[in-house]
Amino acid sequence: MSRPLSDQERRKQISIRGIVGDRNVATPRDYYFALAHTVRDHLVGRWIRTQQYYYEKDPKRIYYLSLEFYMGRTLQNTMINLGLQNACDEAIYQLGLDMEELEEIEEDAGLGNGGLGRLAACFLDSMATLGLAAYGYGIRYEYGIFNQKIRDGWQVEEADDWLRHGNPWEKARPEYMLPVHFYGRVEHAATGAKWVDTQVVLALPYDTPVPGYLNNTVNTMRLWSARAPNDFNLRDFNVGDYIQAVLDRNLAENISRVLYPNDNFFEGKELRLKQEYFVVAATLQDIIRRFKASKFGSTDSVGIVFDSFPDQVAIQLNDTHPAMAIPELMRIFVDIEKLPWNKAWDITKRTFAYTNHTVLPEALERWPVDLVEKLLPRHLQIIYEINQRHLDHIAFLFPNDVDRLQRMSLIEEGGTKRINMAHLCIVGSHAVNGVAKIHSEIVKTQVFEDFAALEPEKFQNKTNGITPRRWLLLCNPGLAELIAEKIGEDYVRDLSQLTKLHGCVDDDLFIREVAKVKQENKVKFALYLEKEYKVKINPSSMFDVHVKRIHEYKRQLMNCLHIITMYNRIRKDPAKLFVPRTVIIGGKAAPGYHMAKMIIKLINAVAQVVNNDPIVGSKLKVIFLENYRVSLAEKVIPATDLSEQISTAGTEASGTGNMKFMLNGALTIGTMDGANVEMAEEAGEENLFIFGMRVEDVTELDREGYNAQKYYDQLPELKEAVDQIKSGFFSPEEPELFSDVVNMLFHHDRFKVFADYEAYVRCQEKVSELYLNSKAWTKMVIRNIAAAGKFSSDRTIKEYARDIWHVEPSNLKIPPPNEPRDTH
């Protein structure tokens, strides 16, 4: 029986003409699915034709392997990339429906935690737009990143049952189902090693189309779902308990049940290692099947010749999560295809490339040897062999340097033996890249300096980017149209053309129009906030926004201290001119990350006090944005005036939110960290609000020892704010509530909040001062937008294509399905 309609849905329901009776009444969800299926039908012909074209032309394939693809919603993005948006808008309007309301019905595909997963999604969009024969491979998690509820100021997690109503954008492909093996043991015979007595789990692929922008290319994202084989637990000695055997199928199928909700943190759980190997084993079988079917997978008298494999296949590892692909490909080549080790290793290295996403030590994957031995015994042997040959080479180059051997080994001794997956990736890849200039330097000179000294040519930088389709056209049509009126529409495919806007910085009409679009976006978002949070928002206040995962290194606490400082200043002198602000902080904390959850509670406790103080009134409002996700980013980013990018220098690998804000007409307050450095380089440092320690200053402070007490003693406003938190001013019923936070700030703050507090507050005063001069502010906004072109993921992907994958982007427009194909 279907669930009863809510009053809201009943009000919105529309009878299908000519049909009466309750059973024939369509809900908004029915209309969403009808529209989604209609749009999908326009994709399918192009999708089939693209794949057919790849089969015939047999270009080099790019495989992007990631445990996360943070896709968000698909409907509007598909309409834009297919050039159908106006036609669909018109049709929906004719039916008396509201397009925006239908778009809101779609669930986000939340198969990622944050930056790493969203980057993968932007890259898929760019690879399709650049006409690359690319495939995203990952896991079809039944439950994505949890939904965050705030109850009494605390984060509460709810399961994200995103497939509840079905997913119109995916197609199951049972004909390509593949077996994946776990556990078992290794037998050594004259013919080589054999992995036997394994447990089998089936990998069922689901394909999602990935359309390029107006070029008729439609690539594929293939996500694997775990299925138990039909004889699971029944072929054993399991005589009687048939029911239990069928129930136990869940154990196998749990592999693709849920996304691990950690960002920048390694949790060494067996299920997570199973997920990592599951995606890798299924994907490599698929890649090799496709290679063998191509004209390059030629055969000689012995069998398939794999010499051309690296010329036909490039595999990009998105962080170390899919690192088991390296020993797995070696296992296939050596054990199954019977290649000699050296040849197999040469092909493997030329195939793989590795992207590093973090320098935080707690985020680096280090799997216990015992766990790998139990789950993947043959892979452990192969990793040992890779390590032996690697260390023999180091010993030959650096005789008697035992320290170096220990530092560079893939195996970490001491306590429990662990496999350093980053070392495995570096040794097994022909290219290693960081994701912003400063990050790639840190990777080369600090984190992996021994490896970079050995093979400097292997280490590269590829600064991250964002897709301008979703992050401008889709989320900010007003600004996109305004830009198109000035410089034409070509910038959408070539964002470097935004530099032409430098000629409009003094155009008074353009300045007014840019400010007007921002104001409209703010009014719209203010209405959303008032509806969701029942707080009256002043749309002319400065929208000061800090949205990203909650983590100590991102320093939401420093923002919180600034809020308290502003609050105290208003209370001390209510008559003094104060530039009104709405401070919006949002983001999820990993469920097991105690400090991050305390930070959320603190922000909400401060908001409670500030928002209900009559002396403050509308001068300062604080909102914690619940359940921050891709679809909410699309709402808040276009409405933002000030973007907070305030990580401790040397900790944020790149950041991509920073780029989205810049493209959407916000100004940035930030440290010289990640891509902020390059944003300042592109726009001119004077057009960003840069403050605080540089990497060298942080290093120096570490050398002399960071003493938080010193700053507390010297800065009265900091002391006042910290004392208020400590005394229970923001938690009167529970004065000790935030003692863990205060204790951390004084005694083990790795990210040195107090050291940058003074510079941050001073910099915020400069922000307020400029905001008073609307014209000067908007001119700075225009200079930022004009300098944002570098941060398109199209540019990033062109660099990967040229420097790592050795393929050429193609401008060729595959003919649409309604035109006959070229038969030559």
Residues 521-541 have pLDDT tens digits of 999 999 999 999 999 999 999
Q: How many CA atoms lie within 13 A of 807 on its CB side?
A: 26
Please check the confidence at residue 823 and state whether its pLDDT lies above 80: no
37-93 per-position pLDDT tens digit: 999 999 999 999 999 999 999 999 999 999 999 999 999 999 999 999 999 999 999
Which positions ≥6 away from 223 have C-beta within 8 Å? 69, 111, 137, 138, 139, 140, 170, 205, 206, 208
Please check the confidence at residue 482 and state whether its pLDDT lies above 60: yes
Please check the confidence at residue 299 and state whether its pLDDT lies above 70: no
Q: What residues form DSSP beta bridges with 208?
A: 221
Tell me the residue type at 203. Answer: A
- Work out the percent of the chain whose per-residue pLDDT is above 90: 91
Q: Residue 110: in which H helix or E strand, if any? A: strand 109-111
Distance separating alpha carbons of residues 644 and 626, to the nearest angstrom: 18
Predicted pLDDT of residue 303: 63
> Residue 297 — pLDDT band, cuts 50, 70, 90?
low
574-622 per-position pLDDT tens digit: 999 999 999 999 999 999 999 999 999 999 999 999 999 999 999 999 9
191-217 per-position pLDDT tens digit: 999 999 999 999 999 999 999 999 999
Predicted pLDDT of residue 222: 98
What number is the average pLDDT over the span 258-279?
A: 94
Provide the 8-state DSSP code for 802: I
Predicted pLDDT of residue 21: 42
> Is 118 within 8 Å of 85 (Cβ atoms)?
no
Nearest of 347, 312, 348 to residue 60 by alpha carbon? 312
Please check the confidence at residue 720 and state whether its pLDDT lies above 90: yes
| Mean pLDDT of the residues in the chain | 95
> Residue 490 — pLDDT band, cuts 50, 70, 90?
very high
Tokens read off for 151: 């109850």
Please check the confidence at residue 810 and state whether its pLDDT lies above 90: no
Strand order in the sheet with 620-625: 620-625, 581-586, 542-547, 642-645, 667-670, 689-690
Tokens read off for 108: 């986000």
Return contacts of 511-514, CB within 8 angstroms, 24+ apart: 511/775, 511/778, 511/779, 511/782, 513/482, 514/479, 514/482, 514/665, 514/778, 514/781, 514/782, 514/785
Please check the confidence at residue 146 and state whether its pLDDT lies above 90: yes
Q: Is 260 left (phi over 0), alpha (psi -120 to 50) or beta?
A: beta
- What would the DSSP string read from start to end of 333-355? IIIIS---HHHHHHHHHHHEEEE
> Residue 24 — pLDDT band, cuts 50, 70, 90?
low
Which positions ≥6 away from 619 have C-beta within 8 Å? 570, 578, 580, 581
Predicted pLDDT of residue 301: 52
Predicted pLDDT of residue 267: 87
Q: What residues form DSSP beta bridges with 218?
A: 211
Q: How many CA atoms lie within 13 A of 802 on its CB side?
A: 9
Which one is predicted more confidently, 303 or 131? Answer: 131
Predicted pLDDT of residue 178: 98
Please check the confidence at residue 300 and state whether its pLDDT lies above 90: no
Q: Residue 186: in which H helix or E strand, if any? A: strand 185-189
Q: What residues form DSSP beta bridges with 158?
A: 147
> Is 628 within 8 Å of 587 (Cβ atoms)?
yes
**Residues noted as catalytic:** 357, 548-549, 554, 656, 660
Predicted pLDDT of residue 824: 45
Distance separating alpha carbons of residues 5 and 751, to the nearest angstrom: 50
Predicted pLDDT of residue 817: 78
Which one is predicted more confidently, 128 or 3? Answer: 128
Predicted pLDDT of residue 609: 98
> Residue 19 — pLDDT band, cuts 50, 70, 90?
very low
Q: What residues form DSSP beta bridges with 515?
A: none
What number is the average pLDDT over the span 776-785?
A: 98
pTM of the full structure: 0.95
- Determine the length of the chain: 824
